[in-house]
Amino acid sequence: MTDSTPVVRVRDLRKSYGSSAAVDGVSFDIEAGETFALLGPNGAGKSTTIEILEGYRDRTGGDVAVLGVDPERGGLDWKSRLGIVLQSTGESGTATVREQIAHFAGFYPQAKPVDEVIAAVGLEEKAGARIKSLSGGQRRRVDVALAIVGRPELLFLDEPTTGFDPEARRQFWDLIRSLSAEGTSILLTTHYLDEAAQLSDRVAVIAGGRLIASGAPDEIGGDEARTPRVTWTDTRGRHDVRTSEPAGLVSRLVAERLAGGDAGEPEGLQVIRPTLEDVYLDLVAHATPADDPHRASGRSVRKEARA
């Protein structure tokens, strides 16, 4: 695999269960050193796609290469180049944090120093604690430690900060940024849209088994989806106007009020610039069939995105 070869290459990926298509013609690339977020509501095909890339699930059709290898044929050497953080926290019996990480380090020819990994995930004070005694968030950090101890070329992070408090999430973001700076390629799934916006070089949105949009976090959805909105209230009621020049519109509104003898800005004036979450919710709402429970005016999807 050369430097110009994508770390992950997916073409027309399909996975069916009987007559039901869980993944329906998905294609994307992940470049070396890139952090790529795959976003979508539950049941969209996101987890199935990830499991195929990790080699846990066979595909029905399409072509897939991960680190230049078809995951269905990847052996131990290939697997040693991957780091995987699954959605569920693993049970580790009575082992301590240090013992468990040291045990996993023994599987890799060039593992990171154990204490360096413990510090990276913020578990120095818990290094001698038994994993079964840790909180859910602390166990999640152990999962991350086990995934990075082998210096993976490609790291799969499937909802990695579930159970983290806000401070721990920010610390985790710093860890991911440092891994990216070292050249680790990362495939991230998360329901925290601010997390995707903060960490990703590119994002892709999957819904109904299809990839419906991809691009940089501040570009996905196109110019129209990212056009700011200006809202305000006057004697004629509530106004909500999309405009590429919100400052100009606000200036005109204030000038009109002054000309009419009113001082100050209009009541309830707001300039709203769409976030990645806003764009994501709009994309999913328009792509999901009307009978899908996630549609419902975006309320269910919004709740999930903020879970």
Q: In what order do the strands lie in the sheet with 20-30?
A: 20-30, 8-17, 61-66
Could you tell me if 39 and 89 lie in one domain? Answer: yes
**DSSP secondary structure code for residue 239 in this structure:** E
Number of domains in the chain: 2
Domain region containing 147: 8-215
One domain for residues 262 and 200? no
Give yes or no: residues 262 and 190 share one domain. Answer: no
Same domain for 206 and 234? no
Beta bridge pairs of residue 139: none
Burial class (CB in 10 A: 0-12, 13-18, 19+), 43: middle
Tell me, yes or no, whether 82 lies in a domain.
Answer: yes
Work out the number of other CB atoms within 10 angstroms of the CB of residue 159: 20
Task: Give Cα 112 distance to the centre of its chain.
Answer: 25
What is the model's pLDDT at position 2?
53
Q: Is the CB of residue 214 less than 8 Å from the CB of residue 205?
A: yes
- Residue 85 main-chain phi, psi, to 5 deg: -115, 110
What's 140's domain CATH number? Answer: 3.40.50.300
Q: What is the pLDDT of residue 186?
A: 96
Do residues 13 and 71 both lie within one domain? yes
* Residue 263 and residue 126 share a domain: no
Low-confidence ranges of the chain (pLDDT < 50): 290-307
Question: Of 174, 190, 215, which residue constitutes the final position of a domain?
Answer: 215
Q: Say yes or no: 121 and 62 in one domain.
A: yes
- The answer to whether 8 touches 19, Cβ cutoff 8 Å, is no
* In a shared domain, residues 211 and 233: no
In a domain, 287, yes or no: no
SS3 readout for 111-148 = CCCHHHHHHHCCCHHHCCCEHHHCCHHHHHHHHHHHHH
Residue 35 within a domain: yes
3-state secondary structure of 24: strand
Report pLDDT digits (tens) over 178-220: 889 989 999 999 989 999 999 999 999 999 999 999 999 988 8
pLDDT at res. 1: 54
- The per-residue pLDDT for 292 is 43
| Cα-Cα end-to-end distance for the chain | 38
- Co-location of 187 and 61 in the same domain: yes
- Confidence (pLDDT) at 274: 85
What pTM was computed for the model?
Answer: 0.80
146 lies in the same domain as 231: no
Tokens of 266: 């209009």
* 302: in domain: no
How much is the CA Rg of the chain, to the nearest whole Å?
23
- Any domain includes 116: yes
- d(Cα 94, Cα 100) in Å, to the nearest integer? 9
The span from the CA of 61 to the CA of 47, in Å, is 17
For residue range 238-280, what is the model confidence (pLDDT) as tens digits?
998 888 888 888 888 888 888 777 777 788 898 888 889 888 8
Q: How far apart are CA 279 and CA 37, in angstroms?
A: 15
Are both 71 and 124 inside the same structural domain? Answer: yes
pLDDT score of 34: 96
| Domain co-membership, 92 together with 36 | yes
pLDDT of residue 203: 96
Cβ partners under 8 Å of residue 224, min gap 6: none
The answer to whether residue 262 is domain-embedded is yes
Q: What is the pLDDT of residue 306?
A: 41
The per-residue pLDDT for 95 is: 92
